[in-house]
Amino acid sequence: MQIFPRWTNEIPKFAPPVATVAAVFAVFVVWFWFSPKHTDVGYAPRQPIPYSHKLHAGDLGMDCRYCHTNVERSAHAGVPPTQTCLNCHNIVRKNSKAFALLRDAKHLGDDGNQTKDENGVGELKAQGPSVPWLRIHKVPDYAYFDHSAHVTVGVGCKSCHGRIDQMVVVQQQEPLSMGWCLTCHRNVRYFDDRGYEPADVLRPLDQVSITDMTYGKDHPAYAGWVSKAREKAKTLRPPTVECSGCHR
């Protein structure tokens, strides 16, 4: 006795392939659209002060390390204190409305002079609120990352942060995912059989500054450096599959 129409006989034939395709598609969706390559790259929040890296690092040619002072010595490159901004901006455009937050942080009046406390004594008050800069490049807490370890072997700022000197508003260029880290960590020492060129990420520190945003295949120092970079890469021991290398 049949209670369903004849065409339902086709369902069992098509159900398994459809289910398989659906499962594969679900995996693809998570792999592709949930990955930092898709969710994080291009993150460019509006900062509390419209600071332009293009103007400062690009047009004016300031060294990254003028503000990010700890990059060669510590795990963190560091966000500069307000004072670093004011080194120039207590003279340059000191009354600009854009700097209201800077002045708040240092308890400076709109005229750029220090405000007095309620007793009228010219003493500096306690520190005001810091400028609430938004962090863009963020590696999770459970992943240990050390700027100094990378910078001192010649991995330039550009490799991970992109052409900051051309960004009016800074945005994330690379996924900063674990897989992205590992493409370099796994391959940099095995350029022979993996087609990975160490000179692309390592630069000759004696010829090219770590902050030089123009370093790349077209750079005059590149051609002579390739073989030396390979030698250098062999001496490196970046954590690869040892979990505790980064997840300490």
Partner 1 sequence: MATDMTAQSYGDVNLEDPVSGRELLIRGNHDFHYVTEAVCSVAEMKLLDTPKPWVFGWMLAVSVLAFLGSLILYLIWEGVGIWGNNNPVGWGWPIVNFVFWVGIGHAGTLISAILYLFRQKWRTSINRYAEAMTIFAVICALVFPGIHVGRIWLAYWLLPLPNQMDMWVNFRSPLLWDVFAVGTYFTVSLLFWFTGLVPDFATLRDRAQHKVAQVLYGIVAMGWRGSQRHWNHYEKAYQIMACFSAPLVLSVHTVVSFDFAVSQLPGWHTTIFPPYFVAGAIFSGFAMVQTLVIPARAWLGLKHIVTIKHIENMNKIILLTGSLVGYAYTMEFFMAWYSGNEYEGFTFINRMFGPYWWAYWIMMSCNVFSPQFYWFKKLRTNITFSFILSIFVNIGMWFERFVITVTSLANDFLISSWDYFVPTWVDISMFIGSFGLFFTLFLLFVRFFPVIAIAEAKSVMPEADPHYHPPHDDHPAPAAAASA
Binding site for partner 1 (CB under 8 A): 1-4, 8-9, 12, 27, 30-31, 34-37, 175, 177-180, 182-183
Nearer to partner 1, 48 or 175 (CB): 175
- Rounded CA separation 203/206 (Å): 9
Rg (CA), the chain: 26
Report residue 45 CA to chain centroid gap: 13
Q: Toward partner 1, which CB reaches closer, 5 or 61?
A: 5
Q: Which C-beta is closer to partner 1: that of 51 or that of 190? A: 190
Nearer to partner 1, 142 or 237 (CB): 142
Residues 153 and 118 sit within 8 Å (Cβ to Cβ): no
d(Cα 71, Cα 146) in Å, to the nearest integer? Answer: 9
Q: Considering the complex, what minimum distance in angstroms separates the CB of residue 8 from partner 1?
A: 7
Q: Which is nearer to partner 1, 78 or 175 (CB)?
A: 175
Contact indicator for 216, 68 with CB cutoff of 8 Å: no
CB of 241 to partner 1, least distance (A): 10
Looking at residue 115, its amino acid is T
Cβ 194 to partner 1, closest distance in Å? Answer: 14
CA separation for the pair 223, 220 (Å, rounded)? 7
Q: How far is the CB of 6 from partner 1 (least distance, A)?
A: 9
CA distances to 35, 49, 65, 224 from 133, rounded to whole Å, are: 25, 8, 18, 41
State the nearest-atom distance from the C-beta of 190 to partner 1, in Å: 15
Give the other-Cβ count within 10 Å of 223's Cβ. Answer: 11
